[in-house]
Chain A
């Protein structure tokens, strides 16, 4: 069912990783991902992999869920490996059959790239698995704040994300209802070729868009009447505090990044 889709993949918890300040977590993720591109050998990947496993353990995440998060990119990873194996030339010839030839350089680069992609996804999913979407938006808003000076509408972006999060479940429910209503009139959403199927979605999408626009309209009025004035300075109910734990985590992450990048 459509409504079963959860937003993000946040797993509720109260581990050390969960309670870290979202801004710190975002910054740490950025640092680690950057260093991922500076790594020169497999030792770095090995260290990052064990780091990931340790964090998963500490934050009590179900390992299955982490693996599930990697599933969608398996294809991309395989493609990278295969392309490199067959296209990159250099080193010893490891295998040859007619025009197919695998050389050591290709195998090495392929695996190297694949490891990098896998770790990249692992880092980002660790962030989204341990940080609620709400905290993420708040964190992003704060991090973008300095960019306000050069005209980046940080609070508006964050407000947009908040509203999107708020309305995704509502619109999902609505989509399911409209779909059923059209099915009751004999609509078929399941069969036909790709073009046919896309065409069959019109009776779902048109009412859904109309409803989304109507909701947006009413929401705008409601927000305005509650004194929302766009970019004007607002206060917040939840104030984020950085404490010693956050600083320690940040220092550890930087140290790890330095070690791994220049190892």
Chain B
């Protein structure tokens, strides 16, 4: 059984003529790491909001652990199960103190106080922020703020985490911290991840990639397969990492190398 299932989903914003999403079919299994990539305006952030019932589809169905998001009574059950991390690190932190922010969601779902303490401490440990419990949130770095947001979500023990461009506003250091944290949570803690991004190198560590363009899923599969179409990806305004460009250039000049996703891969293939 899939954790998350989207069937023929269509969604149109109020007052728009063109739907923001159409014919979306997508499944996510437990423990999977799924990346959704697309340029600005491809509909990927709308998709994220549908998963968390911040929006509801006009057509089609979205099932989270077999609960349909159309079911209004179970909306909080679904939100508890689908944790969301947003793009702007500043605009999702509610509290002045780190531990209070992690506790926010747990307080909302009325977890008893002693248990909140335990879960907060555990979540901070998982994202590597142990020792920051009583720090002021606005003094954290961008990467730390995003990890704090992730801690606030994993404390709620959702069945999956949806991250909507979590690194778009971070510097390289912060970006690295966040991606490493996500990768750790998926590989070591078996947490299901749905990463929405426009950075191909971030998507390359996923199990499966969906490519979105103009509200549709145009391509899907394992990263090595999907990223083979460099010219297509560039044409839909995606950031193709230089290493893939180089590999592509070498291939087009007749060199025989396998599909390359990372610098390590290229160097191994050449030497």
Contacts and interface: CB of A to CB of B under 8 A. Distances in A.
Direct contact of A and B (CB under 8 A): yes
Given A237-B103, A237-B107, A224 B113 contact: no
A222 B91 contact: yes
Given A162-B94, A223-B94, A227-B79, A237 B100 contact: yes
Given A236-B107, A237-B113, A170 B97 contact: no
Interface centre among A166, A229, A234, A238 (most CB of B within 10 A): A166
B113 to A, nearest CB: 5
B113 A218 contact: no
A236 B100 CA distance: 9
Interface string B106-148: 1111111100110010000000000000000110000000000
Contact of B107 (A165, A169, A234): A234
A79 interface: no
A8 to B, nearest CB: 11
B74 interface: no
B80 interface: yes
Interface residues of B, number: 39
Contacts of B52: 225
B100 A225 contact: no
Chain A residues touching B, range: 20 to 34
A226 interface: yes
Contacts, number: 94
A209 B107 CA distance: 30
A233 interface: yes
A153 interface: no
B154 to A, nearest CB: 12
A235 B111 contact: yes
A239 B76 contact: no
A222 B48 CA distance: 12
A53 interface: no
Nearest to A7: B96
Interface of B: 49, 52, 54, 76, 79-80, 83-84, 86, 88, 90-97, 99-100, 103-113, 116-117, 120, 137-138, 152-153, 156
A-B pairs, 6 with minimum CB distance? A222-B92, A237-B103, A218-B91, A226-B105, A227-B108, A225-B84
